[in-house]
Amino acid sequence: MPSTKRRPGRLAALGAAGAAVSLVSGCAGAGAVAAGGDGTTLVVAIVSNPQMEDAISLRADFAREHPDVNLRFVTLPENEARAKITTSIAAGGGEFDAVMISNYETRMWAENGWLANLQPHIDATEGYDDEDFLEPIREDLSYQGDMYSVPFYGESSFLAYRKDLFEKAGVEMPENPTWTEVADLAAKLDGVEEGVAGICLRGLPGWGEVLAPFNSMLNTFGGRWYDRNWNAELTSPEFRRTAEFYVDTVREHGQPGAANSGFGDCLTHYSQGNAAMWYDATAMVSSVEDPESSKVVGKSGYAPAPVQKTGYGGWLYTWSLAIPASSQHKDAAWDFLSWMTDKEYIRMVGEEYGWQRVPPGSRVSTFENPEYQEAASAYAEPMREGIENADPKNPGTRPVPYTGIGFLAIPEFQDLGTRVSQQLSAAIAGQISVDEALEQSQQYAQSVGDSYKEAQ
């Protein structure tokens, strides 16, 4: 039966139980094994983002309540984590007992039978309250009405900007900016102080890297990957216009080395004061407003995701935790998942590290918490509105045969998106032209589209 044990209260001491938990970076090798006696080792694969690192640092709280469970974390950069976890889960080898995935993988992997159904565990766990998850997040992590992964944090996207630098440059951020206005602002802010770029945008190859902001821009520019009959449109006027705009903006007014910049790199650029604007995931705020790591705390404003032809320009994404169907320790794995994703964990992070560091965007109760409202007054509302307004079934201005905003929810997109992202990144680096990038990308996309045509 699923565990129903709940924690009695907040963390009493972080160090006392730490010996029961081990941490490794990189590949952990073998999967879950007995830890000696009645103990069990859970191998947990996660992405090495700041919020996940906080969870590792607080692992003693879990160990205090589960002294017979050892946690072995495998932490990897986003692109590496995706490839490693996907390969492992598809092979069904039982290497991991808990994995960090997203709303891209959850439904497809549940349909394939690769994930354990978490709903029986959720329903049997007193106080877990899955109805507290924001509805778009909960729906995107469900298959046939049951949740197959649970959100660690949820996000849309918005535009962070330095209010002090805007004042210095004599410019203002529109209430609902267009991308044309943002590009104009980037030009005026570029070099407003020595070493400060006008804007930071991702350029790193990876379907979850550069394509996340690019696809949200594509949707609002009126572009799409395929028409309703799976004809690829990567050389269409709308797609070309988006690619030229994105590449020109980041090449002319973006950060140095933009072709190698992922989320973490832009986070460093912006939080260390080296960019006047940054368009990216709303989850950035946990680090941007953290006085222990950021030099721009309290200096930022947050505008809605820029638009062009639509009224909404953001995306919907969540890092979530799932249990592979091949795990031999599903009950213990659920104990860990429920610890890392429930209300009490969020409160613990807020009390230990400050409310600006809590995993954002997953629970209604977080947005309604007075302490969080005070700490997040500058960004909580645009974050929540971005998530609640997301419509993955209708991402742009024209009908499409797929769902998804920052990605296409088809299995082939991991490879297709990676290939296309490599072409865009090469254009950002100046190695090829935008036309060359799109011509090659069109061929990749049409080969995938043809497979769907045959299935119709």
Chain position carrying tokens 């797929």: 402
Q: What is the pLDDT of residue 7?
A: 38
> To the nearest 5 percent, what fractions of the chain are helix, strand and coil?
45, 15, 40
Chain position carrying tokens 């410019």: 171
Task: Give the type of residue at 142.
Answer: S
Pairing of strands 98-102, 317-322: antiparallel
Check: CB of residue 183 under 8 Å from CB of residue 346.
Answer: no
Q: What is the pLDDT of residue 456?
A: 73
Q: Residues near 66 by Cβ (< 8 Å), separated by ≥ 6?
A: 20, 332, 335, 336
The model's pTM: 0.86
Per-residue pLDDT of the chain (456 residues; tens, 9 = 90+): 444 343 333 333 333 333 333 333 333 333 333 334 458 999 999 998 888 999 999 999 999 999 999 999 999 988 899 899 999 999 998 999 999 999 999 999 999 999 999 999 999 999 999 999 999 999 999 999 999 999 999 999 999 999 999 999 999 999 999 999 999 999 999 999 999 999 999 999 999 999 999 999 999 999 999 999 999 999 999 999 999 999 999 999 999 999 999 999 999 999 999 999 999 999 999 899 999 999 999 999 999 999 999 999 999 999 999 999 999 999 999 999 999 999 999 999 999 999 999 999 999 999 999 999 999 999 999 999 999 999 999 999 999 999 999 999 999 999 999 999 999 999 999 999 999 999 999 999 999 999 999 887
**Pair of tokens at residue 328:** 């031999």
**Pair of tokens at residue 407:** 């990605």
**Pair of tokens at residue 220:** 């609002």
